[in-house]
Structure 1
Amino acid sequence: MPGGIKKDIQLEIGHVLFIDIVGYSKRSINEQRGLLDRLNQIVRSTEEFRSAEAAGRLLKIPTGDGMALVFYKNQEEPVECAVAISRVLEEHPELQLRMGVHSGPVSGVIDVNEREHWQPLLHDLGTCEVKHDVRVGVVNLFSDGVGNPHIPKKIQLCKKQNARGRWILLATALLLLAGIITTFTIVSRRPVRSNYPIEKKSIAVLPFENLSEEKANAFFADGVQDEILTNLAKISDLKVISRTSVMQYKSGVARNLRQIAEDLGVGHILEGSVQRAANRVHVNAQLIDARTDTHVWAQTYDRTLDDIFKVEGEIASNIATALNAKLTETEQQILTAKPTDSTAAHDAYLRGLALEPRGWYSAEAKETLRRCYAEAVRLDPKFVAAWARLARIDSLMVFLGTDATQERRDAARQALDTAINLQPDSTDTLLAQGYYDYWVLRDYPKAKDLFAQVRNRLPNSAEVPAALALVARRQGLWDESLNYSDQALTFDPRNPQLLADRAWTYTIIRRFDDALKTSDRLLKISPTDPDAIAYRAAIFHAQGKLDEAQKLLSGLHLDFANDSVTEILIQHWLFNRDYQNLIKTLQPALTDLGISAMGRALYREAIGFAQLRSGDKAAANKTLLQARSDLESLRQRDANNPELVARLGAVNAYLGEEETALQEAENAAALLPASQDAVVGPALEEDLARVEAEVGENDRAIARLQKLLNTPYSSVSHTGPITRALLRLHPSWDPLRGDPRFQKLLVELAPNG
């Protein structure tokens, strides 16, 4: 034997929890990956797993369709872990598990079956013959809230036929068979062996280090990494983690590759560096097996800048070869494709890509993005990917209301048509077309069809299932949306936007505890992100927990350009009737040139409402008249913007223009009914209820609120649906408080309100 290894090895007793997914082999590859990632997240969330891992007394062994967890402290650890997992599984009916516990060797060990406090939960199932003619004693662990009291069919068969039961064994350990609810079978007196490989063809491409003397070239290093990642993601035989999750592991600092690989659920890591000088580029790339910390492949490229696409394709191809991934003919062609002949156009395009993570809600950032892509297509009018990105950013500006004018709609259509004319079957073009149908036309079935086409060609894409989740949400298909969200997180597990969207979906359907759990995950990744903090505060608002919201919002830096965060702060001040603080804080925003015209109008409306409720009617009228003038000017360019029309309805109601207010609010609700948008449509109904309450139409307002309390949706003002807590807190409903029907509405029991 090799030196340093002794023949006489002191064996430790291990207490093993075996877990496998029911029906795993019948699932598609994407579904398998999604279920495994969900299982890993659930297991890692348990206190038993975290404590044992922190103490260095846990061995986690992937098994293809599940895992084995070896604990060393005592034989109760795996049982308690299984119980904890079972409780979480109640929220995930799509994930059905078999779980079994085994200790070995057992010499000198008190069997868990003999522990007195477990006795009431243990039910003897007799013995059953397994592999090698061995018979084992089996007990079932269940109670009212945990496990499955029904005898597994294979146990029944084993008893009836007194023959070898077809038990699923991992090595020589017996797994419990379960139905829809997890059953626990405790098996003992048999040593444990496990030797299962983890998924080999999985990779994360970490940010490349920028070695250029000009640090402004950092965007180029990020772009090279992103394009290599994109090329790899198009190979169906690989699992590739998406960009947002890997960008958190910045270059230039020490990185624990083994930990990163475990966080992302991959076996391999690609690292590299880029040095650009004049017309030359030096790229170094190395592929590392993170499980063993060994180099699998490495290569250095010294080429002209014109050859960068060839270098990126070669790297992706070499990695595929190193991981024994099979390339189709189409995939080989993709790796050798050259999207543009213009290095300047490519630079402009990469600058846009580098800004995209920061450009989702900021109007200024979206304009900067647009300039980058517009410059790229100016320099190369045949640059399909840049035309597609230009169409997407224009479509997004329409959708978010940043600029929903006809001119912007036409610009989005023109950019999309150009991409279609140049390369209609490009995945970039198809994605842009899907977003146009979703964001501009709100043609959700057509958008889903297009995204489904792209999904077949981009097997590792997190973006496509994420888009499908958003579209399904607009259709009111909440479970389908959450399922797509799970699939997206498989390929991008540390993407803050995906987690924020998932938390928002839970909030929409009033599953506030799930929303908070998802928010916890989000804040662990982005603990200082103002959007993440504000969204969590909004969940507490919906539950009426103002103190919890205050703790989060008190340290938040106010950025008027971030209207979503500012709106949540406005609602917080209104819930607390802190009118003077609202007025004082928002006043500077009215002269801030960085704020959009719509943003200024909304802030002016909030100030006017606070002045009205605080009793300063003269100041309120002056402010609200200016807000109405701002909104009317905007409507001249965007007459069919439902949010804009709804705001006009509210302002007119505050000004006492009752008939006009009702007409505007009704028009807004008719422009985008719930049948066309399950998320925002009911929110416009809530805006109508506010106007009805303000002008004294109590009957209509209360009837509408009764319906909305049982409707999933997201309000424009508080990022979630109305709840009884919000009705109690918000001053908008003050005109209704003297009505006994409204008071009854506040105390009626509801499942989620």
Structure 2
Amino acid sequence: METAPDVRRLTAVLMADIVGYSALMGADQNATMDALRQLRGGLFNPIVDQHRGSITKSMGDGWLVEFPSISDAVACAVAIQTSLIDHETIRLRMGIHIGEVVFEAGDVFGDGVNVAARLEALAEPGQVLISDTAVNSLDQKTAALFQGGTAQKLKNIERPVGVWSWPEHQPFKATTDTKASGSAERPAIAVLAFDNLSGDREQEYFSDGITEDIITDLSKVGSLLVISRNSSFVYKGKTPDIRQVGRELGVSHVLEGSIRRAADRIRVNAQLIDTQTGAHLWAERYDRKISDIFAVQDELTRCIVDALKLKLTTAEHKRIGAVPTANPQAHDLFLRGREAVLSSANTKEMFELALRCFNRAIELDPDYAEPYAGLGHAYTREFQNKWLGIPNSLEHSQRFVDTALQKDPEMPYAHYLNGINKFWRGEQAASHAAIERALSLNPNYAMAIGMRGINAVNSGTPLDGIPDLERALQLEPRAGHLYTHFMGMAYLLAQDFDTAIARFTERIEASPGTDLSRGLMISALGHLGRVEDARKMRDELRGINPDYSFSEHVGRLPLTDASVTDMLLDGYAKAGLDD
């Protein structure tokens, strides 16, 4: 296996740690885990996103977060600490430094990390400590909010470091001078599921697919925070108060609309609404031929950008204006196939439907990249589920993914699938690189965020993957059952068997045909000595797949530690069951 070179860059690093984590877990583990889930999904992750941060590492009781500027890091830290002042359970310590970091073998090192970690350890609950290097990089207005500057000798840091503090009681107002601070608060938008007015429920895939394409196009605008479909589709089929949507999703604007399709014509109505006032900032109706659907999406995206007074970069102009195919029937087939391959009905029938749709789309337009990626996705699912019993499904998948990337090197979907395939091949560094590339093209790509979490689950520190899996679950309901499965696996590998069983139970309810979730649940039950429950689960498993072999299935998992495989097999054996 080829070793990936290390990556070095100068960046702003924030280290955050939960105060008294062990004591909290010891006092009430379930309540603490619930509080942490709410903290991650409802506060920490969204605020990090709003300030252009990237959670590089999660340690269960803490985070390492990167930012493109020190102003972003400071504004994010203070916003989080301010939000937690009245929290009943969770308090955080934070340290910030700007310096070189090194990414190597799935981990991160360097001066930026070391100094930030030492500052975080010095901080009081609710406090933010930053280095002299960091404070000297801030504009004067923001730097004036910090006190101190006394040089201190930090453990394993050669030079003395001047330490500056922001106490929790001191108010903070981020500067609006983007030239000085390098950070202006981005507008945030949610795209609600467009109503299908075609009078045919069979067209639901089309209205949902177009809505998802609009979300994807808007996600390419770096100065705009876009809520993914898991959050926005909660309101599908409802008539919510837009102001309430704004409060619940934390967005400044909502896009809503409808789609009517008849023969070769399409009518799209869309309106952009300010969630603070409920006022319509912009509205438009498009009556076009179905062949103009990409032009409609392009115009709609640019109108929203203009209404929000944003400026597109040259790269964003190019990405938004790209037309993947000139054949509307091929695009329609791709939408059908994508709906099938992402369906929670994880069945051979859905797999075969996806193959028919993608192959027919390619017949109609051999240069259309997305159906090749769709075939890659379908064969990856076949590799995992063995519907056809062929030995080389992963090779089929990689061939189609490579073709997709040749035809469109900037397709996030194809880079994500490339990351999946490298994951199953055990090439963790290459998988991580592919996933990071997908996220660089679409930072709100839920499936790629989930895959980053899955990589962490299998890398030897399973609980590090939980934040990304929870974030992905929040963003994308279609694949939610899969993320729930890997949460169960994370807790099983961490030997938290009760929590693992709870997650596997949720996954089985969402995807009744799953076999591996049942097999892993049997292992967890065996470790707890719940033999009768394990036997009932084995009966269910045999009913679904009479030829299922747990040892064979586990043997295909790309686990980095052989002792982990032994632990899984040992739990199954403790249930008193033959494989």
Give the alignment's TM-score, normalised by structure 1: 0.51
Q: Which amino acid aligns with 2:559?
A: D
Could you say which residue in structure 1 is the equivalent of 2:79? 66
Matched, 1:290 2:275: yes
Secondary structure of the structure 2 residue equivalent to 1:382: coil
The Cα shift of 1:414 comes to: 3.2
Matched, 1:223 2:169: no
Could you say which residue in structure 2 is the equivalent of 1:269? 254
Q: Which amino acid aligns with 1:215?
A: R
The Cα shift of 1:462 comes to: 2.9
The Cα shift of 1:506 comes to: 3.8
Matched, 1:249 2:235: yes
Question: Pick from 71, 76, 85: which aligns with 2:90?
Answer: 85
Match runs of 1:333-482 below 5 Å: 333-359=318-344, 361-402=346-387, 405-439=390-424, 441-478=425-462, 481-482=465-466
Structure 1 463/37 Cα, relative in aligned 2: closer, same or farther at 3 Å?
Answer: farther
Structure 1 portions without partners, runs of 5+: 1-24, 29-33, 45-62, 71-77, 98-145, 155-164, 170-179, 520-530, 536-555, 590-594, 607-641, 647-667, 690-714, 718-725, 734-753
Question: Pick from 559, 573, 577: which aligns with 1:677?
Answer: 559
Question: Pick from 543, 547, 551: which aligns with 1:601?
Answer: 547
Could you say which residue in structure 2 is the equivalent of 1:38? 40
The Cα shift of 1:341 comes to: 1.9
Secondary structure of the structure 1 residue equivalent to 2:89: helix
Question: C-alpha deviations, 1:532-578, integer Å up to 9, x for none?
Answer: 5357xxxxxxxxxxxxxxxxxxxx6994x332465478676993537
Question: Pick from 284, 309, 315: which aligns with 2:300?
Answer: 315
Could you say which residue in structure 2 is the equivalent of 1:525? none
Question: C-alpha deviations, 1:418-454, integer Å up to 9, x for none?
Answer: 3244334443433332222223x23121121222223
Q: Distance in 2 between matches of 1:149 and 1:430?
A: 39
Structure 1 470/565 Cα, relative in aligned 2: closer, same or farther at 3 Å?
Answer: closer
Structure 1 396/442 Cα, relative in aligned 2: closer, same or farther at 3 Å?
Answer: farther
Question: C-alpha deviations, 1:650-687, integer Å up to 9, x for none?
Answer: xxxxxxxxxxxxxxxxxx6xx87xxx5237x4454246
Could you say which residue in structure 2 is the equivalent of 1:643? 552
Question: C-alpha deviations, 1:611-660, integer Å up to 9, x for none?
Answer: xxxxxxxxxxxxxxxxxxxxxxxxxxxxxxx616x8xxxxxxxxxxxxxx
Secondary structure of the structure 2 residue equivalent to 1:213: coil
Secondary structure of the structure 1 residue equivalent to 2:399: helix
Structure 1 43/363 Cα, relative in aligned 2: closer, same or farther at 3 Å?
Answer: closer
Q: Distance in 1 between matches of 2:565 and 2:397?
A: 26
Instruction: Give the strand-richer structure, 1 or 2.
Output: 2
Q: Is the 8 A contact 1:199 1:267 kept in 2?
A: no
Q: Is the 8 A contact 1:203 1:239 kept in 2?
A: yes
Secondary structure of the structure 2 residue equivalent to 1:601: coil
Secondary structure of the structure 2 residue equivalent to 1:398: helix
Q: Is the 8 A contact 1:281 1:305 kept in 2?
A: yes
The Cα shift of 1:310 comes to: 0.3
Q: Distance in 2 between matches of 1:579 and 1:472?
A: 28
Question: Pick from 307, 324, 332: which aligns with 2:309?
Answer: 324
Structure 1 401/508 Cα, relative in aligned 2: closer, same or farther at 3 Å?
Answer: farther
Could you say which residue in structure 2 is the equivalent of 1:533? 506
Q: Which amino acid aligns with 2:313?
A: T
Secondary structure of the structure 2 residue equivalent to 1:272: strand
Question: Pick from 210, 219, 230: which aligns with 1:233?
Answer: 219
Match runs of 1:629-640 below 5 Å: none
Structure 1 265/492 Cα, relative in aligned 2: closer, same or farther at 3 Å?
Answer: farther
Q: Which amino acid aligns with 1:354?
A: E
Could you say which residue in structure 2 is the equivalent of 1:577? 532
Q: Is the 8 A contact 2:453 2:464 kept in 1?
A: yes
Q: Is the 8 A contact 2:146 2:166 kept in 1?
A: no
Q: Distance in 2 between matches of 1:96 and 1:39?
A: 22
Structure 1 405/431 Cα, relative in aligned 2: closer, same or farther at 3 Å?
Answer: same
Aligned length: 455
Structure 2 portions without partners, runs of 5+: 1-10, 15-35, 47-74, 97-122, 132-142, 148-162, 177-183
Q: Which amino acid aligns with 2:453?
A: A
Could you say which residue in structure 1 is the equivalent of 2:263? 278
Give the alignment's TM-score, normalised by structure 2: 0.65
The Cα shift of 1:213 comes to: 2.3
Structure 1 200/425 Cα, relative in aligned 2: closer, same or farther at 3 Å?
Answer: closer
Q: Is the 8 A contact 2:330 2:360 kept in 1?
A: yes
Structure 1 412/82 Cα, relative in aligned 2: closer, same or farther at 3 Å?
Answer: closer
Q: Which amino acid aligns with 1:267?
A: S
Q: Distance in 2 between matches of 1:384 and 1:83?
A: 51
The Cα shift of 1:334 comes to: 2.0
The Cα shift of 1:358 comes to: 2.2
Secondary structure of the structure 1 residue equivalent to 2:246: helix
Q: Is the 8 A contact 1:261 1:268 kept in 2?
A: yes
Q: Distance in 2 between matches of 1:472 and 1:558?
A: 23
Match runs of 1:293-304 below 5 Å: 293-304=278-289
The Cα shift of 1:238 comes to: 1.0
Q: Distance in 2 between matches of 1:557 and 1:201?
A: 34
Matched, 1:496 2:498: no
Larger of the two Rg values belongs to structure:
1
Q: How many percent of aligned residue pairs carry the same amino acid?
A: 25
Q: Which amino acid aligns with 1:66?
A: A
Q: Which amino acid aligns with 1:474?
A: N
Q: Distance in 2 between matches of 1:567 and 1:337?
A: 44
Structure 1 27/305 Cα, relative in aligned 2: closer, same or farther at 3 Å?
Answer: farther
The Cα shift of 1:196 comes to: 10
Secondary structure of the structure 2 residue equivalent to 1:600: coil
Structure 1 151/303 Cα, relative in aligned 2: closer, same or farther at 3 Å?
Answer: closer
